[in-house]
């Protein structure tokens, strides 16, 4: 079987490269356009991928944690981000954080998220976060990788399997985006209406 990266079929992202620096810079220079609702819009961009997975597998759960240090995390119970082994025996994760989503970015007819804004992809989250850590658990292994303003600063670092699959995206939104507005019950109802296969729970650890 041909395992060269050039032979891998592109569906949501281009496997040929790990980082699109120009793409990330464009997002950072236009933060108001790409995160009009501030940090909560970034959460919705991550949740949209969990919703895709839940829709394709018959249902799923996701927990959003608002942390006292200002960071946010989104954990789902899906299959994990696609990770393959290349011709040199290296694990390669689909470059979702640092390259554009081929389905949504720059497409006027892109899906609209529950806040009424167009979906652009999770690279928006990475680019507009001071740091982001993506932990990826699949049946064939688990890895974590850290990004700063969308640029990976570590390789895929193996982590111990815990019997689960799914992704954990933990990020600290750039302070220029302003404070997080924790969603009210009506907002969570809107999520359920938009993504009926995904159960979303918000754990606000800053609440008094």
Residues 6+ apart with CB under 8 A from 186: none
Residue 111: active-site member: no
Q: Which residue has the tokens 């924790």?
A: 182
Residue 14 to residues 18, 135, 172, 191: CA-CA distances in angstroms?
A: 9, 20, 26, 29
Residues 6+ apart with CB under 8 A from 149: 24, 28, 126, 127, 129, 130, 174
Indicate which residue of 33, 45, 53, 184 is catalytic.
Answer: 45
CA-based R_g, the chain, Å: 16
Contact at 8 Å (CB) between 64 and 73?
yes
Selection from 113, 124, 104, 97 nearest residue 32 by Cα: 124
Active site residues: 45
């Amino acid at each position: 079987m041909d395992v060269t990266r050039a032979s891998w079929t592109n569906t949501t992202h281009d496997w040929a490269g790990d980082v699109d620096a120009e793409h990330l810079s464009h997002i950072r220079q236009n933060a108001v356009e790409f995160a009009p609702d501030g940090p909560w819009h970034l959460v919705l961009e991550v949740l949209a991928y969990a919703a895709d997975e839940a829709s394709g597998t018959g249902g799923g759960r996701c927990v959003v944690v608002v942390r006292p240090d200002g960071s946010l995390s989104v954990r789902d119970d899906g299959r994990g981000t696609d990770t393959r082994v290349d011709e040199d025996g290296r694990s390669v994760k689909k470059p979702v954080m640092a390259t554009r989503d081929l389905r949504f970015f720059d497409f006027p007819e892109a899906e609209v998220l529950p806040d009424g804004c167009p979906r652009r992809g999770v690279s928006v989250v990475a680019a507009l976060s001071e740091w982001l850590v993506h932990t990826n658990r699949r049946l064939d292994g688990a890895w974590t990788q850290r990004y700063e303003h969308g640029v990976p600063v570590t390789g895929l670092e193996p982590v111990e399997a815990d019997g689960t699959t799914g992704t954990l995206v933990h990020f600290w939104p750039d302070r220029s985006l302003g404070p997080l507005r924790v969603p009210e019950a009506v907002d969570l109802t809107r999520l359920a209406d938009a993504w009926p296969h995904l159960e979303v729970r918000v754990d606000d650890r800053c609440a008094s």
